[in-house]
Structure 1
Amino acid sequence: MLSPATIISKFLLQHYQGFYSWTDTLKGIYYGPGSTSTSLPKLLELLGVKKAFIVTGRSLHDKTDVVKKVEQILKDSNAYGATFYEIGQHSPIGDIRKAMKILEQVEADVIVAVGGGSPIDASKVIRYHLQQDSGGKTIPQIAIPTTLSAAEYTKGGGYLNDQHLKVSINSPELAPAGIILDAELTLATPEKLWLSTGLRAIDHAVENLYRPLVPPPVKHMAYAALADLFKYLPLCKKNPESIEIRQKLQIAAWMSLFPMKLEKYSAIGLSHALGHKLGGPYGIPHGITSCLTLAPVVKLKAETASESDKEWLAGALFYLREPSTGSIEGDILKLSSLIQKLVDDLGLHSTLTEYKVPREDIPKIATLALTRSDHPLFAKVVKLVEELY
């Protein structure tokens, strides 16, 4: 008779391990527990690269064996160049400059980003600046995420400039060439970081429901992501060692920001815009900014969104197995309440007071998020930020 552990392992291998490929830039997404050891060598061969430069953060490097495992796989493939582990939160430009110098010294031809949104975004920025400096084609990137921030699915990235302001870059060539979703590597991720980036994934899914140019099939994938994230985040808090739950959450994060080739640039919505202006300047992690801003922004949408966007938002209740209130606006307000309840239940409630955000900065934050102070929603957004204290 097979043991329960063997049965679970066979189930995971059969249902949550596989491969997906799309577009000229993204050569493949490998997913499944333990998949790094087999898929990383495959991606190196697929990309035709010889020497890898690992970009990661200090905590992941110093406090876990995740980076060492990736280094060993690269060494076994005779493809290890060097590791840079000083990428700070929100990818400061000073850290990026240091990494660029080392990458050029070792003559690496591929970056392997290991960790959350900061090293993944930093790798995109490194590649972008190298491309700008050389005027040639950028080197490829392989992303091995250990959070649910979903930065690996976009062709854009962000960093903090010398004035600690968020700067965004965007280019079709910046999408990673390969992504590895290995739930085993997420076991070392701190609980608050893991769960809060799960809220970041919910933020992606919700804002894809009213983001311009997103086609209906992708919106329905966002619904599926919401259903799984709402289900599995609380289960993961109760059973943090479950690799099965973690793998399902990684796939849900993938669905929350499914790779798309849009006709033109389409920015994520107001919750993300506020998060970008709160995160870097005030040292608030990306996941926590979503915990702060998403529920209030959805509440505001019940009042200000277009009828089409309201219908998409209200439709989320069906996928969350929640009854309708009887009105579209009421359903959106209920969605906002459900998001806030999830934040609270996961122990992720916080305030701007905790992060010492000066109240006098509120108008500036609203202006930067909306891109101008004469925006029709300026007064409402100022009030929204005031209520985050």
Structure 2
Amino acid sequence: MSSDTQSSRLHGSYAWTNTLRGIYYGPGSISTALPELLANIGGTKALIVTGKSLFNKTDVVKTVEAVLRSKDAYGATFYDIGEHSPIAGIRAGVKAFKDAGADIIVSVGGGSPVDASKAILYYLQQESGGPYLKQIAVPTTLSAAEYTVGAGYTNDEGTKVSVSSPELAPAGIILDAELTLPTPERLWLSTGIRSLDHAVENLYRPYITPPQKALCYQALHDLFEYLPKSKANPQDVAVRQKLQLASWMSLFPMKIDKYAPLGLSHSLGHRLGASYSIPHGITSCLTLAPVVRLKAKVASQEDKEDLAAALFYLGQPSTGSIEGDALKLADLIEELVANLGLKSTLTQYNVPPSDIPKIAELALRGETNLQGDVVKILEGLY
């Protein structure tokens, strides 16, 4: 049998996530979608999990509270969730859930509230021994945490750890672009690059099916087109809605029988984010382009071809070679980051150069043959 017929492009499987009951999208959809999801999932009293800034500085949480109150389904609001979801906040969230007599979580905000809610539900299940309770996610950034079965959070030692179960994936997701209007520009745009990171790394992630890759190419196209438009006109709700849909396509929900992490850019981001208080979106701004440059040289031929194919969806001419096209993709990513005003350095976040070898080692998870290359990537980010 030829190597072509053994390709991962021709062998695989796909299934929907176990828990997801529905994704509702559209400006203003929160008022109808949230009651429908509560009825569908079965929640009767909700704990809202959110962050301090969203709670204190915007009316977004009040809007969600009002919808829940209209259906007599409001329990309480817990807003002590910090960036990277520290474990202290998760423990406090478990207590808040019990004190409210809640049976469902409605998370509102970016990746931290969504992941913290998964962790809260995980610890509640561990205590009770019963079935996992459910979450409805109302994202206000483009981080795409709502489409995954895992929860990353920061333990007492300041290290990023995770829990994972198909039952932790949100049971409902509401993409209401009107609720994203108060999101700070840097957070909104940088999490858009995070979605770009998902889409790119899914092109070389194992077990990703061809239809999912097609969605990733569309996500690449839309993120490149609409992120600059959103920066130019932050109040354009239609553009923001299209970006939420692109985020969905970048990490389309799936049931994974064989789990594989996203890739080196994400692995580096996890090591940099929690340890040095670098926002998730900014870690992708730092790492994605140089990782694609490395992949253009060391990836399998098939992975290089999938990266190179992105140029077609971006309306860019080929350079004449597969490696050249993949390198051009890296250049385009770097240019997009710069044009969005998101270019950053490790110096800005006080990452000691002496930490670089250890960061590289941890990110590679024992893949020592690329240690020198990854050290060079990190050294180039100062």
Name the TM-score, length of structure 1 as normaliser: 0.93
Residue number in structure 2 paired with 1:165: 159
Residue number in structure 2 paired with 1:180: 174
Deviations 1:37-67 (A, max 9, x none): 0110111111111100000000000000000
Find 1:218's aligned residue among 198, 212, 220.
212
The answer to whether the Cα contact below 8 Å between 2:18 and 2:167 also exists between their aligned partners in 1 is no
Residue number in structure 2 paired with 1:254: 248
Give me the whole-angstrom Cα distance separating, in 1, the residues matched to 2:189 and 2:240.
11
Q: Does 1:238 align with 2:238?
A: no
Deviations 1:164-215 (A, max 9, x none): 1000111010100000000000000000000000000000000000001001
Deviation at 1:130, TM superposition (A): 1.1
Given residue 305 of structure 1, which amino acid in structure 2 is its aligned partner? A
Given residue 337 of structure 2, which amino acid in structure 1 is its aligned partner? V
Given residue 195 of structure 1, which amino acid in structure 2 is its aligned partner? L
Residue number in structure 1 paired with 2:368: 375
Residue number in structure 2 paired with 1:386: 379
Superposition map of 1:125-144 within 5 A = 125-144=119-138
The answer to whether the Cα contact below 8 Å between 1:154 and 1:175 also exists between their aligned partners in 2 is yes
The answer to whether the Cα contact below 8 Å between 2:148 and 2:253 also exists between their aligned partners in 1 is yes
Deviations 1:128-177 (A, max 9, x none): 11111211111100000000000000111100000110001110101000
Give me the whole-angstrom Cα distance separating, in 2, the residues matched to 1:312 and 1:61.
42
Find 2:78's aligned residue among 79, 84, 88.
84
What SS does the aligned partner of 1:376 have?
A: helix
Give me the whole-angstrom Cα distance separating, in 1, the residues matched to 2:131 and 2:344.
43
The answer to whether the Cα contact below 8 Å between 1:22 and 1:28 also exists between their aligned partners in 2 is no
Q: Does 1:52 align with 2:36?
A: no
Give me the whole-angstrom Cα distance separating, in 1, the residues matched to 2:204 and 2:43.
39
Unaligned 5+ runs, structure 1: 1-20
Find 2:189's aligned residue among 180, 185, 195.
195
Residue number in structure 1 paired with 2:324: 330
Find 1:320's aligned residue among 294, 314, 317.
314
The answer to whether the Cα contact below 8 Å between 2:146 and 2:170 also exists between their aligned partners in 1 is yes
Give me the whole-angstrom Cα distance separating, in 1, the residues matched to 2:146 and 2:97.
20
Residue number in structure 2 paired with 1:10: none
Superposition map of 1:21-36 within 5 A = 23-36=17-30
Residue number in structure 1 paired with 2:348: 354
* Aligned sequence identity (%): 67
Give me the whole-angstrom Cα distance separating, in 2, the residues matched to 1:247 and 1:151.
17
Deviation at 1:22, TM superposition (A): 5.1
The answer to whether the Cα contact below 8 Å between 1:141 and 1:178 also exists between their aligned partners in 2 is yes
Find 2:333's aligned residue among 339, 346, 364.
339
The answer to whether the Cα contact below 8 Å between 2:18 and 2:255 also exists between their aligned partners in 1 is no
Find 1:73's aligned residue among 59, 67, 72.
67
Given residue 221 of structure 1, which amino acid in structure 2 is its aligned partner? L
What SS does the aligned partner of 1:56 have?
A: strand
Q: Over the residues paired in the alignment, what is the CA RMSD in angstroms?
A: 1.0
Deviation at 1:23, TM superposition (A): 4.3
Give me the whole-angstrom Cα distance separating, in 2, the residues matched to 1:132 and 1:211.
31
Deviation at 1:24, TM superposition (A): 3.9
Deviation at 1:262, TM superposition (A): 2.2
Deviation at 1:263, TM superposition (A): 2.3
What SS does the aligned partner of 1:322 have?
A: coil
Unaligned 5+ runs, structure 2: 1-14
What SS does the aligned partner of 2:270 have?
A: helix
